[in-house]
Structure 1
Amino acid sequence: MKINVLTLFPDMFTPLQVSMLGRALEDKKWDLNLVNFRDFTTDVHHHVDDTPYGGGAGMVLQIMPIKKALDSLEKKGKVIITAPQGKTFNQKMAKRWADEEQDLTFICGHYEGFDQRVYEMADEVVSIGDYVLTGGELPTMSMIDATVRLLPGVLGNSASAVEESFSHGLLEYPQYTRPAEFEGMKVPEVLMSGNHGKIAEWRLKEALRNTLLRRPDLLENREFTPEESKLLTEIKLELENKN
């Protein structure tokens, strides 16, 4: 997958070039093309923004340098703008992009947003939450990270992405490692039993428990398997008895 990013601050994208994603970049599992759209301005001072027609506070990013930067790309693929008014990014969206797209192009905003005609050049407008940041770089990095790590060969353990939070619509189950006991805190015995069937059942139950306690909204429209329904009933009884 090739990812293009149109940004005024390409130096901000260093985190994507280290650790697992950095190694995958070196191994050509994906490609990152950072484009400073200020380079496509034509005036002496390289302005990328201007005051809005009709008045108002703040400055608005102009269409011309962004359109020229887009036109310079050999392949754009799906064009994505990060903005608070967009649909909320989630794991399902990351999976769809990883599975279906060969190229992605992100346009990072600043100031009071884009000339409306920039939005019309995008295939999707996406937000990472109901809050406002100073620019689109951090949301873009989050979305790139979530997407690229799902590409084949990027994670060291191919099973990791399958078992993580949200991959099955549930939060992740608790995990433990050595020592088996630390300052009176013990690892659940089932995890050391060697009984893989029981371990799988425990993990599913604890994933359901975590989701019920921390993100019950994720369960509202879920179609439960018979096993999940049984375990969820057990969890609710345990919580009632605990209280």
Structure 2
Amino acid sequence: MHIDIVTVVPGLLEGPFSHSILKRAEEKGLASVKVHNLRDYATGKQKQVDDYAFGGGAGMVMMIEPIARCLEHLQQQRTYDEIIYMTPDGKTFDQQMANELSLKGNLLILCGHYKGVDERVREKFITREISIGDFVLSGGELAAAVVADAVIRLIPGVLNDETSALTDSFQDGLLAPPVYTRPAEYEGMKVPEVLLSGHQANIETWRFEASVRRTKERRPDLLEGK
């Protein structure tokens, strides 16, 4: 998988992709992420990428021309399965969407900033609009990093344990069950006996029941309609 991310503040994305699982994915040749500075496609001494909104109002709007130059240049390099715009009014990102995107080959993510992009960008280029929640960030960079992380970790071979991603919360519509490690007892708090039994069928039954119980307590909305 290859992901291109277009932003006006590339420095915000330096950290997430140079550590941990995302770094290992690139070292293994399973995924690559490249960050593009939108100002490289702007003209004039100021490298302007935003302007006042027609009709007035507070806040600046990202201009279509530098974005168009950038996206058209990248499209000459490869064919994208999706051109994604990170925006608060997009479809809410969830595990199902992460699973779907993990099957793609090439993704391009445009990070919104200021009051957003000229609407014509969305009409001409964007194939999918994504939000990571009902709140507003200063820009789409952190949201883009969240999406990239959630997607890349699902690619076979990225995680050392191939089954790890399959047992994450939300994969089966439930929250993950409680987990424990050594010591088996700490200040009188004991690990459930079934997890120490070695009886795998009983362990799996316990984990499923614990998942259902935790989901009912914390996210009953996930069980609606089931």
State the TM-score, normalized to the length of structure 1: 0.89
Q: Which runs of 5+ in 1 are unaligned?
A: 223-243
Query: 2: CA distance between counterparts of 1:199 and 1:116?
Result: 53
Q: Post-superposition shift, 1:16?
A: 1.9
Q: Deviations over 1:185-217 (max 9, x none)?
A: 000000001111100000000000110000000
Q: Say whether 1:90 aligns with 2:94.
A: yes
Amino acid at match of 1:102: G
102, 106, 129: which one aligns with 1:103: 106
Q: SS at 1:6's partner residue?
A: strand
Q: Deviations over 1:70-124 (max 9, x none)?
A: 111112331000111111000000000112x100000001111110011111001
1:127-142 equivalences under 5 Å are: 127-142=131-146
Q: SS at 1:17's partner residue?
A: coil
Q: SS at 1:16's partner residue?
A: coil
- 2:49 aligned partner: 48
How many corresponding residue pairs? 221
- 1:201 aligned partner: 205
RMSD between aligned residues: 0.8
Query: 2: CA distance between counterparts of 1:31 and 1:125?
Result: 22
Query: 2: CA distance between counterparts of 1:199 and 1:159?
Result: 16
149, 161, 176: which one aligns with 2:165: 161
- 1:17 aligned partner: 18
Query: 2: CA distance between counterparts of 1:61 and 1:187?
Result: 54
Query: 2: CA distance between counterparts of 1:153 and 1:184?
Result: 39
Q: SS at 1:125's partner residue?
A: strand
Query: 2: CA distance between counterparts of 1:4 and 1:112?
Result: 22
Query: 2: CA distance between counterparts of 1:17 and 1:166?
Result: 27
- 1:126 aligned partner: 130
Larger Rg: 1
Query: 2: CA distance between counterparts of 1:86 and 1:24?
Result: 27
Conservation of the 8 A alpha-carbon contact between 1:17 and 1:25: no
Q: SS at 1:159's partner residue?
A: coil
Identity over the aligned pairs, expressed in percent?
47
Q: SS at 1:105's partner residue?
A: strand
Q: Say whether 1:77 aligns with 2:81.
A: yes
Q: Which runs of 5+ in 2 are unaligned?
A: none
State the TM-score, normalized to the length of structure 2: 0.96
Q: SS at 2:129's partner residue?
A: strand
Query: 2: CA distance between counterparts of 1:29 and 1:10?
Result: 23
- 2:184 aligned partner: 180
Amino acid at match of 1:107: L
Q: SS at 1:179's partner residue?
A: coil
Query: 1: CA distance between counterparts of 2:117 and 2:59?
Result: 11
- 1:233 aligned partner: none
Q: SS at 2:23's partner residue?
A: helix
More helix by share: 1
